Amino acid sequence: MGNSSFADAAAFRNAAATGQVGVDPDAAQTVLSKIRTGKDAVEALLRNADALAAPPKIGANPVGQAMSAKFSDRADGSRDSYAQALRNLYTQYDQAEQAIVTAMSRYHEIDQAGAEPFTRHV
């Protein structure tokens, strides 16, 4: 599921960059605002994610130490970690933001190109 949304965000960004998609800037402002709000929230969580990586104190014996290291790694280090999930989500928000901004800038180009055949003969 995560890989699909990542690919979808990248595909939308690429379509906007190549001029295949244009979005009316006035209509896109609400979406862009929500994307930026989500991106800011994820960024705030990422700033505090280091606190989750603090090894819990669950005993000085070898099992407790191993479990403590495992929990710490799961929070911040491994590819399935909470922090990595947040980094992936932030990237998706960033790509969506870039795509919307690019599609907004392309809107007028696409609109003018579509109207050209009709205005050329005027």
Over residues 39-69, the pLDDT tens digits come to: 999 999 988 877 777 777 887 888 888 888 7
CB 18 within 8 A of CB 103: no
Tell whether pTM > 0.75.
Answer: no
Q: Which amino acid is it at 9?
A: A
**Where are the domains positioned within the chain?**
2-119
Q: What is the pLDDT of residues 62-92, one digit of tens each?
A: 888 888 877 777 776 667 778 888 988 999 9
- The dihedral built from the CA positions of residue 70, 74, 77 and 79, taken in this order, carries a sign that is positive
* Residue 49: strand, helix, or coil: helix
Burial pattern 84-111, b for ≥16 Cβ within 10 A else e, equals eebebbbebbbbbbbbbbbbbebbeeee
